[in-house]
Every structure is written in C-alpha cells, then in structure tokens.
Amino acid sequence: MQNVGWLFSLWPVFRRLYPDKSERARVAQDHAGYFNTHPYTADIILGVITNLEERRARDGSVDREAVLAARTAMSGPLSALGETVFWATLGPLILTGAAVAGMASQRWGWCVTLALYLVLFNFVHVAVKAGGLAAGYRKGLDVVAFLNRWPIQKWAARAAWLGLGLCAGVLVAAAWKGRSPVGAVAAVATLLCLRRKWSPLWLPVVAAAAGLLALY
C-alpha cells in the first residue's frame, strides 16, 4: 500500500550507503513488500530503519531479518496511535477551536476558521513528523521505550473532552443567536456527555432526533 512512498523516502539513504547499483537494488527490494501505517507517524519508523540500515551496511551488526521485523512490528501500533491522536482527536479539536474563533467575525468568519485550521493542524503534524524522524534516527529501537514514557493516550483523552466542551460552546452560541431549539438540545446533550462522561457517540443520535422533532 505505502511501499512505493516508503522506498522513495529511503532511496537517498540507499544511494549513500550502497554506491554499487546492484547491491543497492538488492537492499531496496527487501523493502518493496507490504507496508502500511499512519502517514504522520511513519517518520518515526523511517528514522529507526535508517539507523538500522546504517548499522547493517557499516559493520553487519544488524541483519536483514531484524530490519524488516522492526518495520513490521512498529507499523501497526504507530498506525493506531496516529489514528487516535490525529484523526480522532487533534483534527476535530483544532477545527472546533478554529470555528469558535471564526464566530467572532461576522463577515470573514469562514476565512478565519479555514486559515486557523490549516495553519495550526499543519504546524502540529509537520512538527510531529520532523521530531519523530529525528527521534527514531537518534534512538533507533530505543525509541519505543522513549515513546512509552509519554502519556499520549491520556493527553488524547483529555483533548477529546476539551473538544466536546468547545462543541458545547459553539452550539450554545448558535442556539442563543438563532433561537434554535435544535442547537439548544444538542448543546445540552454535549454538556451531559461532559458531566456524566457518556460516550460522545450519543451526540449525533441526540442531534438527529432533535432535528426530526423540530422539523415536524
């Protein structure tokens, strides 16, 4: 799935380590198999594999099987981590925060929202990619222990609840401004989720039910 992009990213490393084209092609073929992970955490693996490939070419302290095993072992967990942190948490959180800021402008609100979202989200994920690449290369396989010291899952959970709080603020403001019963019901549902720690999956159900009631 991502093996072509993966090889493209490793190619400068192979050109530096293996001047002989046939040897370079042989090593590159090892990485032509299946590879798939989250695009924003892939750079951590890229840094680790670059470190291992340098050791493999320099003194043979790492063999082919160890390199490929490390790549496979890290791709799954980092894929799940990326999905949780970026798609399920930071993306909606930053978009909601940008929407709140955009509501302050009557005329250019949509421009403010779009600009803030693009700037903030891209800054965060590019910084994570750059930092992940550097950490993976510097620490090698020890990067796993390094990542385990960071309470990433706990931060993601708190950020998700912060996003729900921002959503509640947006809905309350919209309900007050437009005298919308749908917005009011959705805002109350959001606040209940925050108060009672209910699953946020109930939010679209309650909002849809409120919309149908208001329609009829």
Domain coordinates in residue numbering, the chain = 1-82+122-150, 151-216
pTM: 0.78
C-alpha 54/C-alpha 66 separation (Å) is: 13
Amino acid at 165: G
**pLDDT at position 121, please?**
95
CA proximity to 43, closest of 120, 116, 133 = 133
Mean pLDDT of 43-62: 94
Mean pLDDT of 65-91: 91
**pLDDT at position 197, please?**
64
C-alpha 4/C-alpha 14 separation (Å) is: 14
| 133-149 per-position pLDDT tens digit | 999 999 999 998 888 88
Mean pLDDT of 86-92: 85
Q: Band of the pLDDT at 207, cuts 50, 70, 90? A: low
The residue assigned the tokens 């909606």 is: 92
Tokens of 149: 């010291």
**Phi and psi dihedrals of 67, rounded to 5?**
-65, -50
